[in-house]
Chains A and B, each alone.
Chain A
Amino acid sequence: MVFLLIFITFINITVTGWGYFSLYQRRYLFSERFGFTVTYLASTSCSFVIALNLFLLFPQHFEVVSTFTLFLGIVVGALFGSMVNMQSFIAGIFNGGVGGIMGSMLGAVALDPSLCGLPADLWAEQDMMLFMALLSLSIQLLSACMLTLTNRL
């Protein structure tokens, strides 16, 4: 199960990098509003997915991983936001940080459901890892599809 999670993390990071480079080639065509929308969608979904995967991969180091995913979300948001102007840069930093925090929060609840008052034996660990990996993969692929559809329209 860990190999599947590592594989899906690799796919997610690859899709993030591919989305960044395919948007980077057309960055002079973006208007201000389009830059804001693309930064909002891409930074939120990519930092959320990467934070969720990293939190499930290293569940022992709680504080280190949650701090690192926050920092990673800010870096991803700043990369996407620095394509257009200052407004999208600020939006990217803020939404990337929020996405990173939310991803580590979902990972913490998935590992220990009694944090939220749910029963502790809500699911087995294998089921939880499979479900979260497939959820993150589907979110990332759907967001990438909607991002690439913007080039056609």
Chain B
Amino acid sequence: MPQWIGWFLLLNLTTACIAYLFLYPRRNLIGFHLGMNIAMAAGGGLALGTGVILINLFPLHFIEVIISTALLGMVAGGLFGALFDYQSVLTGYINGLMMGIMSPMVGAAASEGPMFILFIELFILSCYVLLLTSAYRS
């Protein structure tokens, strides 16, 4: 596996930070239904991308990768849900936790080449773009 896939990690985190900073001033305009879906998609997508990349970069450190990805998914889902209300926090938390535990296994099973990671990145970035568009139009 080539080492340049580590840059996608930085891209994911930057996109999540930009999305959070974009959503923060308009959090009162967004209803609870869209808020719940934003928490689920943002936390789960960030945990999925991070787990798939990290297990390909460090294939021998399974325990550390599982712990860090589950923590990242929980914190990201909780933060995106905390923009809206407490039930969004709960939904984002459990979805980020599930995605964070499952994604290192998916990444380890699909470690053939960088094509899978490219498509995962495309999927996550298009998810974020859709999310920001729907938040902009609401």
Contacts and interface: CB of A to CB of B under 8 A. Distances in A.
Interface in B43-81: 59-60, 62-63, 66
Interface of B: 32, 59-60, 62-63, 66, 86-87, 89-91, 93-94, 97-98, 101-102, 105, 108-109, 111
Interchain residue pairs A-B with the least CB separation, the first 4: A116-B108, A37-B87, A41-B94, A116-B109
Interface of A: 33-34, 37-38, 40-41, 44-45, 48, 99, 102, 105-106, 109, 113, 115-119, 122-123, 131, 135, 139, 143, 146, 149-150, 153
A45 B86 contact: no
The main secondary structure of chain B at its interface with chain A is helix
B97 A139 contact: yes
Identify whether the interface residues of A are mostly helix, strand, loop, or mixed. Answer: helix
Contact of B111 (A40, A117, A135, A150): A117
A150 B98 contact: no
Contact of A106 (B97, B101, B111): B101
